[in-house]
Structure 1
Amino acid sequence: MRLALRPRRSMLYMPGANARALEKARMLPADSLILDMEDAVAPDAKAQAREQIVLAVTEGGYGKREIIVRVNGLDTAWGKDDLYTVAKLPIDGVLLPKVNSLQEIDAAVTCLTEAGASAELPIWIMAETALGMLNIASIATHPRLAGIVMGTSDLAKEMRVKHTADRIGMLVPLSLCVLAARANGLEILDGVYLNLEDETGFCAACEQGKNMGFDGKTLIHPKQIDVTNQIFSPSGADINHAREVIQAWEEARKASKGVVVVNGKLVENLHYEESLRVLALADAIKERNS
């Protein structure tokens, strides 16, 4: 048995008002692209960003990259028009900013439906407010939700915490969101790293995010993609160990044995299932790169 997974190691923000960036994104090795109408776009460039994103995704050429569009919130002057505009575009998801409740997702889904969007169009949310953190267990149960993106910059501002190397002020909300995602079968992406010159710190943040359970990391610059893809990919040792666990577990089942030991460690069904996931992710990455 093999699972079907989509790698989301790297999710790169692309400002919709920058036509050159939208063009360049077609050649970047990011697994996912967030074409942004919101934070990365100045108020007087919102209409331009919307038009250029429509043109870019209509022209296509993004290959196997997942295309998600971040719209403005419905509490802004642009939100409703954004949702109506993206409803029928050939994209892989709509990202809603600053979500605080289930009702906000319902309102966005209503707009998309009115504009003719498919009921299968995935909805993603930004988890980036204090109220959203308190409500994340409820928010994550929405049936249309596909994933959560951490908005750590806005969240740090609301919480009045500093961006420290250990992210101590963010550990509780980050973990709450991972728990909510896993409890509801959602994908979850870690927040951005703002210091483009600090490669050591960036690598450490990626490792921390992986160890916390995130599927990948959101990025603000193409120079961050390769490191992120490497860290969030199963290593050769991970793949070899997964194969050993699967083989040992399946042989034990055939022999009606209840206990399996691999490299001196007890293996249970949960380890078998995780090993299947590791190999499925490795296969998906290989197919993505082919």
Structure 2
Amino acid sequence: MSSAVAAAAAAIRQAGAFYGRSLPRRAVLTVPSSDWKKLTKLPTFTNTDCVVLDLEDGVAETAKQIARENIYRYLNESASKITREICVRINAVSSNHINEDVKLLKDLSTSIDCLFVPKVDSIDDMKWLADRLGSNRQYNLVIYCESARSLADLRSILTTASSLFSLQGVVFGSDDFSADVGINGRYSPEAFELTYARQKIITTCRLFENAQPIDMVYINFKDLDGLKKQSEQGAAWGFTGKQVIHPQQVPIVQAAFSPSVSSIAWAKELIEAYDKHEKEEGKGAFTFRGQTMVDKPLLRKARSILNMTR
């Protein structure tokens, strides 16, 4: 982030009354927890918004227990060195590994910032996990939508999740979803085959106040031009963040999901003008900067822009 954007973001954070929810995760960096060397490098990844310590797809079947031990050690000994959010992705509720993952969560002496749960296919997955974790801790929750069933039932799943946890987002797991719905071979670089799924996730998330839609991963981490294009597409559609698998992807993704300095200034000024209009003249649309008729939808857009600023 440039110094100008950082300065604008700091000013907006001080005016936090403009929005009521936490700032979104733009770059969600997943790190395999079986690799202790990579965990020790996490303090150098200060530019990413969110670090997810992975127990699932990034970890071999034979290395699950090593990964749990690494997470336990890391969170209890080293987590204070990182200023960014630290999360854990457990294995799917339907997997053979979930009971040991739940035990790890209960054994941790420190709370994780957010729990990422993959392959959530039904409301029963949410109920089972909430029952096993108990009520001693309130978990922030991000789920993964990775199947046709999950996509079809997403609204019901999120309704249940929001009643049992502090629901914070949905990640689109494009590879598993593609396999589940029968996309032949690898989807195209433009991912047009996944348009419906991506846009439905965005739309469904908007029904829940704090459910951030997080876009698919761009697997070819060396293709930074392709990453930039897909990130900007996702941001234009309404995603507010994206999965990343390599540190060099982080700045490109963050730039795509960050408002420009001019749009930040516009949003801040519009909200201030709206508040003044409400106080002095009452409700209703009004003219802003000599030409824009400001009403509730435009106000929501302005607040959304500020909410995308970190």
TM (norm. structure 2) is 0.84
Residue 262 of structure 1: aligned partner: 288
1: CA distance, partners of 2:276 / 2:226: 43
Residues 214 and 280 (structure 1), Cα distance of their counterparts in 2 relative to 1, 3 Å cut: closer
Partner SS state of residue 100, structure 1: coil
2: CA distance, partners of 1:251 / 1:117: 44
Match of 1:227 among 252, 268, 276: 252
> Deviations for 1:212-245, whole angstroms, at most 9, x for unmatched residues?
2112001111110011111111210111211232
Question: Contact 2:271 / 2:299 at 8 angstroms: preserved in 1?
Answer: yes
Residue 65 of structure 2: aligned partner: 47
Residue 219 of structure 2: aligned partner: 194
1:38 and 2:59 correspond: no
Residue 6 of structure 2: aligned partner: none
Matched letter for residue 24 of structure 1: K
CA RMSD in angstroms comes to 1.9
Residue 194 of structure 2: aligned partner: 170
Matched letter for residue 172 of structure 2: M
Residues 87 and 211 (structure 1), Cα distance of their counterparts in 2 relative to 1, 3 Å cut: farther
**Runs of 5+ unmatched residues, structure 1:** 286-290
Residue 36 of structure 2: aligned partner: 19
2: CA distance, partners of 1:108 / 1:134: 21
What's the CA shift for 1:277? 3.9
Matched letter for residue 258 of structure 2: S
1:126 and 2:144 correspond: yes
Residues 166 and 176 (structure 1), Cα distance of their counterparts in 2 relative to 1, 3 Å cut: same
What's the CA shift for 1:256? 4.0
User: How many residues were matched structurally?
Assistant: 280
1:78 and 2:97 correspond: yes
Match of 1:95 among 102, 116, 123: 116
Question: Contact 2:114 / 2:139 at 8 angstroms: preserved in 1?
Answer: yes
What's the CA shift for 1:88? 5.0
Matched letter for residue 146 of structure 1: Q
Question: Contact 2:257 / 2:308 at 8 angstroms: preserved in 1?
Answer: no
1: CA distance, partners of 2:141 / 2:274: 37
What's the CA shift for 1:268? 0.8
What's the CA shift for 1:280? 4.6
Matched letter for residue 190 of structure 2: D
What's the CA shift for 1:181? 1.3
TM (norm. structure 1) is 0.90
2: CA distance, partners of 1:277 / 1:176: 19
Residues 117 and 95 (structure 1), Cα distance of their counterparts in 2 relative to 1, 3 Å cut: farther
Range moving further from structure 2, 163-172 or 133-142: 163-172
2: CA distance, partners of 1:257 / 1:12: 43
2: CA distance, partners of 1:280 / 1:37: 30
2: CA distance, partners of 1:62 / 1:271: 40
Paired-residue identity, %: 28
**Runs of 5+ unmatched residues, structure 2:** 1-16
Question: Contact 1:88 / 1:117 at 8 angstroms: preserved in 2?
Answer: no
Q: Counterparts in 2 of 1:104-183, with a 5 A limit?
A: 104-113=125-134, 117-118=136-137, 120-142=138-160, 143=163, 144=165, 145-161=167-183, 162-183=186-207
